Amino acid sequence: MLSLSRIPLFVSLVAASPAVAAQDANGSETFAPCADAGTHASLAGTQCARIEAPLDHDAAGGETIELFVRRFPAEGAAKGELWLVAGGPGESGASFYPFIDTLRGGAPGYDLVIPDHRGTGFSTRLCPIEESPESAGGTAIEGAEWGTCFRALNAVPDRTRAFSITNAAHDLTMLMDRLDDGRPRYLYGVSYGTQLVLRTLAVAGKDVADGVILDSLVPPEATEEFDLSRRSAVVDMVGRQVLAECDALADCSRYFAGPAADTLSQVLADPDLAEPLGPKPKYTLGAFLDLPETRAMLPYVIAGLKAGDARWLEHAEARLAELSGIFAPYPQAASSIPLVSVISRSENNPRPELTAETIAEEEAGLLFASPLPSLLLMGGIPAYEKDDLFAAPPKALPPTLVMHGTLDPKTTLAGAKQHVAMFEAAGDVELIEIDRAPHFILMVAPDEFAARLNSFIEATSTD
């Protein structure tokens, strides 16, 4: 997703609040029809629950929060459940709503259960007022809301620090336990969601699920090679690989007098040529690596800019904007930047001394870059101390499938392989490399994703 978040989502729609959980005769939570099920065709027939959870799972009897869960019932009799954990860490379950058909194709006969992890979507937010769908910017914070949000986070720092990965892992364990109906269930996570899923397995043990699917696996938590502060280097590595591939193809290299990277360097060095790329040209170029379609346009974008023609650039930007638009019907879709900052600074930044000057110096020698390292500088938000589960792989795993793209510019394949090596002895783990795919296999390679998921469920199902 950001950051581990994948594509900026800007939405300010207001929808009816989804239904709260009903209770069965024994008083346990069940799902009720969602109040917003009629607002978009993709939500038709969905069922919702709002379940109370401790703010801090180590402080029984203290403050509580609400966790929102949406279920997309299987078509026909349900054989089991597929739980879906979003990335970010600021993304909500709405990240999956546009891809329900692909998920149903990969897991036919399975209910799709999608929680909004704490701090995102319709679950309790870090800044409940400023991140409300009814606020000025909708669930995305804007303008003066930043100041009031930051003041609120500092006024109750213990509450802010409770929005940790480990508490989120306890949330997920609690939800899966309290909503358990005895059927087979699988647990899927993407990007940051893979980190949360692995933390959940460390908390709850392997019996929490019959199988696990990790899409675009994050690098090891203690890495100092592929951590978030070095995200721009990862993006640049993939971008240069793409340009090198262009150099090796006659139909692509014919647009350049020499290596494509040299032409791009010339464009970036000339303010007039780079001006159409916006105030952060390397960030714009890096974003094009997120989709196979816009990545394929890069040589034409660069050649066009060198010739003073921005039409290919405009075409690529329009395609990214079009993709962003598929999330617009869902008011909870905007990523929570406060949560990104809290978790990223607390867990995934081994360089707390990082400065804006250092980031600028490191970006100077790059052709492609990411805005994510700058989010690690966001002061004014309390961070929390890492706990004993940090960088501690699960001791036991259910059957686990890892799907990772060979051209992932966010969670690099090399980092994923390092991570798999740390936990593959804990269970049956298979790493599938999806050729030339970028980040988020469900989105960028849907047919292969569905086929791999279906094969995995068929092979591991206890039915």
CATH number, domain of 430, equals 3.40.50.1820
Considering the domain architecture, whether residues 162 and 241 belong to the same structural domain is answered as no
| 273 and 162 share one domain | no
pLDDT tens readout for residues 298-322: 999 999 999 999 999 999 999 999 9
Contact 129, 146 (CB under 8 A): no
Please check the confidence at residue 9 and state whether its pLDDT lies above 60: no
Give the residue numbers spanning the domain of 90.
22-224+388-460
- Tally of domains within the chain: 2
In-domain check, residue 4: no
The pLDDT value given to residue 137: 82
Domain stops at, among 326, 350, 366: 326
- Mean pLDDT of the 451-457 span: 98
Domain end among 277, 297, 326: 326
The single-letter DSSP state of residue 254 is T
Rounded to whole angstroms, how far apart are CA atoms 321 and 288?
11
Q: What pLDDT is attached to residue 134?
A: 87
Q: Is residue 115 part of a domain?
A: yes
Say what the pLDDT of residue 50 is.
95
For residue 333, tell me if it sits in a domain: no
Predicted confidence (pLDDT) at residue 463 exceeds the cutoff of 90: no
Average pLDDT, stretch 272-301?
98
List, as own/partner pairs, every contact residues 291-297 make where C-beta atoms lie below 8 angstroms and the sequence separation is at least 24, other chains included: 291/319, 291/320, 291/323, 291/438, 291/444, 292/436, 292/437, 292/438, 292/444, 293/319, 294/319, 294/320, 295/242, 295/407, 295/438
- Asked if omega into 89 is within 30° of 0 (cis), the reply is yes
Q: Are residues 32 and 172 in the same domain?
A: yes
Examine the fold and report which residue of 303, 326, 349 is the final residue of a domain before the chain moves on. 326
What average pLDDT does the segment 99-109 reach? 97
- The answer as to whether 240 is a domain residue is yes
Structure confidence at residue 12 as a pLDDT band (50, 70, 90): very low
Between 224 and 432, residue with greater pLDDT: 432
Beta-bridge partner residues of 405: 434
Q: Are residue 188 and residue 91 in the same domain, yes or no?
A: yes
The pLDDT assigned to 29 comes to 63
pTM of the model: 0.93
Q: Tens digits of per-residue pLDDT, 418-431? A: 999 999 999 999 99
Q: Are 211 and 234 in contact (CB under 8 A)?
A: no
Q: Write down the pLDDT at residue 197.
A: 98
Mark whether 286 and 302 lie in a shared domain.
yes
Tell me if 341 is assigned to some domain.
no
Residue 97: per-residue pLDDT:
97
If asked whether residues 208 and 242 sit together in one domain, one would say no
Note whether residue 93 is domain-resident: yes
pLDDT (tens digit per residue) in 46-87:
999 999 999 999 987 889 999 999 999 999 889 999 999 999
Tell me, yes or no, whether 10 lies in a domain: no
Mean pLDDT rounded to a whole number for the chain:
91
177-189 pLDDT, tens digit per residue, is: 999 989 999 999 9
Same domain, residue pair 164 and 113: yes
Q: Please tell me the least confidently modeled range out of 6-10, 63-67, 141-145, 261-265.
A: 6-10
Q: Are residues 191 and 266 in the same domain?
A: no
Q: Are 102 and 442 in contact (CB under 8 A)?
A: yes
Give yes or no: residues 213 and 192 share one domain: yes
CA–CA distance, 156 with 160 (Å, rounded to integer): 7
In this prediction, residue 234 carries a pLDDT of: 97
Which position has the token pair 């793409």? 242
For residue 101, pLDDT over 60 is answered with yes
Residues 218 and 251 in one domain: no
In this structure, of 29-33, 244-248, 315-319, 327-331, the range with the lowest mean pLDDT score is 29-33
C-alpha distance from residue 128 to each of 124, 131, 152, 209 (Å): 7, 5, 10, 32
192 lies in the same domain as 252:
no
pLDDT of res. 23: 41
- The pLDDT assigned to 28 comes to 41
What pLDDT was estimated at residue 133? 86
| Cβ neighbours of 349 (radius 10 Å) | 20
CA distances to 231, 281, 354, 355, 405 from 358, in Å: 13, 18, 6, 5, 29
pLDDT at 138: 85
- Is 378 part of any domain? no
Say if residue 353 is exposed, middle or buried (CB neighbours under 10 Å; 0-12, 13-18, 19+).
exposed
- Per the CB < 8 A criterion, the answer to whether 43 and 148 are in contact is no
Based on the fold, state whether residues 33 and 152 are members of the same structural domain: yes
The answer to whether residue 6 scores a pLDDT higher than 70 is no
